[in-house]
Amino acid sequence: MICTVTFNPSLDYIVRVDDMRLGVINRTTYEQVLPGGKGINVSIVLGNLGHESCALGFLAGFTGTEIARRVREAHVHADFIEVEKGMSRINAKIKSNEETELNGQGPLITEENIEQLYAKLDVLGQGDTLVISGSVPNTLPGDMYERIMARLDGRGVRIVVDAERDLLTRVLPYHPFLVKPNNIELGDIYGVRLKTRADVVPYAQRMQREGARNVLVSMAGEGGVLVAETGEVFESPAAKGTVVNSVGAGDSAVAGFLAGLAETGSYETAFYMALSAGSASAFSDHLATRPEVEALMAR
């Protein structure tokens, strides 16, 4: 079983505006509405690659209803927790001369809701995979990642963590199966600038020494690096193509890695499938599909 957790899902309203200006009416030239959230993205791409997963998280209000509908429409099994107060976020992503984002707050999550999530996670055991990713809303305890990993510790669950700074570093003692920072996030953690794949390798290895079993570092146009628990180090430039939308590319890489490893047992194949899935999403206005990923892997 693969489960993903999205603490604060959203409806992403993506628009393009020619020469956007403040203080006047701006007309869109393109509009798209998608279910948003890093865990949801991972589940959708896993489904596109032929692997089932269960999407968990908290939803509220009419926006929550629409998020659930769109997730089911993407053929993802969803088991969301309904929250009484507030509504799920609408995140506006405005693409113009510069990109601007306006992110909503999300609903009020109670201690009872947290216990409901724990109950769903308690069914996980040996050989199952849990993906926890993204920010933690201010209505949840700041140590939610650690609480979940401590609760599941010793059960044989492979836990994947895709988060920034303290959310990531504080869970390293629990030995997550996979962590996926990008090069900027990895550099921020260690107070350095990491521009090249050669720069990244020693710091990915350092993160592995600090507890992570596998460290996958995405680097946008520079490609990526994998430091595997086998001791192997893989690195590759990115596929060539025109970036249309980078939202979800990192989540697609996580899905590609899990799919590739499940299908072949090879960390090398998992790495290249991760890079290809990330690029496939970045090169289109939708999340990566199997034919797109396979076409990039064949290059």
Which residues are the active-site residues? Answer: 251
Kind and range of the H or E element at 179? strand 178-179
Tokens 């570093």: give the residue. 169
- Cα separation, 207 vs 185, in Å, equals 12
The pair of structure tokens assigned to 181 is: 């920072």
- Cα separation, 140 vs 280, in Å, equals 33
The pair of structure tokens assigned to 14 is: 């993506």
What are the CA-CA distances from residue 200 to residues 88, 153, 249 (Å)? 36, 29, 19
The pair of structure tokens assigned to 231 is: 């001791």
260 with 266: CB under 8 angstroms?
yes
Distance in angstroms between the alpha carbons of the first and the last residue of the chain: 31
The pair of structure tokens assigned to 24 is: 């006047």
Q: Which residues pair with 112 in a beta bridge?
A: none
> How would you classify residue 190: left for phi > 0, otherwise alpha for psi between -120 and 50, otherwise beta?
alpha
3-state secondary structure of 138: coil
Cα 72 to chain centroid, rounded: 18
Half-sphere exposure of 225 (CA within 13 A, CB side): 25
